[in-house]
Amino acid sequence: MAEELNNDNRILSELFRTFFAKHWPVWIGGIILGMLNILLFMIKSPWGGSGGYNNWGENVYQAAGFLGLENVTPTNTSLYGMLNILIILGAFAGALFSKEFALRIPPVGELIKGFIGGGLMAIGATMGIGCTIGGFFSGIPALSGGAIFLTIGLFLGTLVALKYLFWEMENFPGFSTGKSRTLLAASEKTGGWQIWLGWIVIIVVFVMAYNYFGNGNAVMSWFVIIGLLMGLICQRSRFCIVASFRDPFMTGKSSSTVGVITGLLIGLIGFTIIKLFGVGAGDTALRAREMTWVFPHFWLRAPIGGFIFGLGMTIAGGCAVGALWRFGEGQVKLWAAVLGFLLISPISKKFIVPEFVDLLPHSLRYKNFMPDYIGYTWSVVIVLAILFIWYLFVKWNERTGKFSTY
């Protein structure tokens, strides 16, 4: 009997190590995240990031009675505000289970760059109506014409920010150097408390989901569970969209890009089926289902917002989702980025964006659903062609180093 128990324990221990002893390939994370994004769409609507940050910020300003936002902001946590919280908790649990959690406090210059980068992401997301998650990772599979232009802006913003970072290293190397500290780090033989705390986090989250379900809010209950899984998967696979744009031009590596392309392909298949056949929509809601995640930012508003967002995410070292899971594993620079994002987003939405939008004629900021113009078949073909060309480029560049800095 004792021998059987020991064998069972060894089997469970091997299973645990399979998931948490080492990181997963990024493409595995992309596949699972793409599938979970489809599930979110079937339940309610696709994955979005910037709306959750804005929800946090609006509630902060409402509680403080500041900037006149106290009368116009929600008092509850939105679906996407909750989703962002659960992504952090999922990443926290993943880091604890793998004993990778630690408070990593960088030099002051890096904290400043984190906050500024988060603020730029907030301005870019509110101007372009979308971030690397809602505008890009969900927008491209949603067959939004504006998402393609947002992507162009993200690329250009990333390249300009990389130029700045290299210029900073050459001319002001002391800005981002200095004393850094690491606290609460574990080793292979120590830090058993991290694994126990990880299980406590999982239990708390499932109790939270159960309570929402028991109170009749099944949608929020599912968002809680899926958010937990997304955070854990992002942390284990190091899934990061800023890396997919940055790394081919910085290090030449293509693994992050391939992971993101894989997630986009999975999402494209699922989103197209949902929209084409009206999955989850009644007869009268079919058009609304088709237009889900197609925002009024075609064509000029999207690349301007994407460019600003690309600047911010590269300077901060994390995009809308990368900032969340890095927050969960204790990277304090990304705490500053999240703070900048949530504090600046409501300010930009209320004071900056209206002035900016008024300058643009309607022809530069309308909803463009590609199948309305070229049909579903050609829309899917064009997106597939873009992703295929992107894949060929990063693989060729990885081999030749033609466009890589190092």
Is the dihedral angle over the CA atoms 21, 27, 33, 35 positive or is it negative?
negative
Q: 406: part of which helix (H) or strand (E)?
A: none
CA dist 74 and 219 (Å) reads 18
In a domain, 55, yes or no: yes
In a domain, 18, yes or no: no
Residue 153's closest CA among 373, 314, 5, 33?
A: 314
DSSP codes, 41-77: HHHTS---SHHHHHHHHHHHHHHHT-TTGGGTS-SS-
- 222: preceding bond cis by omega (within 30 degrees): no
pTM: 0.95
In a domain, 319, yes or no: yes
In a domain, 44, yes or no: yes
CA distances from 315 to 49, 111, 143 (A): 18, 11, 29
DSSP codes, 260-318: HHHHHHHHHHHHHHHHHHTTT--GGGHHHHHTTT--S-EETHHHHHHHHHHHHHHHHT-
Structural domains counted in the chain? 1
Give the pair of three-digit tokens for residue 300. 């000029």
In a domain, 16, yes or no: no
In a domain, 330, yes or no: yes
Look up the domain containing 246 and give its range: 25-400
In a domain, 14, yes or no: no
Write out the chain's pLDDT in tens, 406 residues: 566 556 667 888 888 988 999 999 999 999 999 999 999 999 999 999 999 999 999 999 988 887 776 555 454 678 999 999 999 999 999 999 999 999 999 999 999 999 999 999 999 999 999 999 999 999 999 999 999 999 999 999 999 999 999 999 999 999 998 889 999 999 878 889 999 999 999 999 999 999 999 999 999 999 999 999 999 999 999 999 999 999 999 999 999 999 999 999 999 999 999 999 998 876 668 899 999 999 999 999 999 999 999 999 999 999 999 999 999 999 999 999 999 999 999 999 999 999 999 999 988 889 999 999 999 999 999 999 999 999 999 999 999 999 987 5
In a domain, 405, yes or no: no
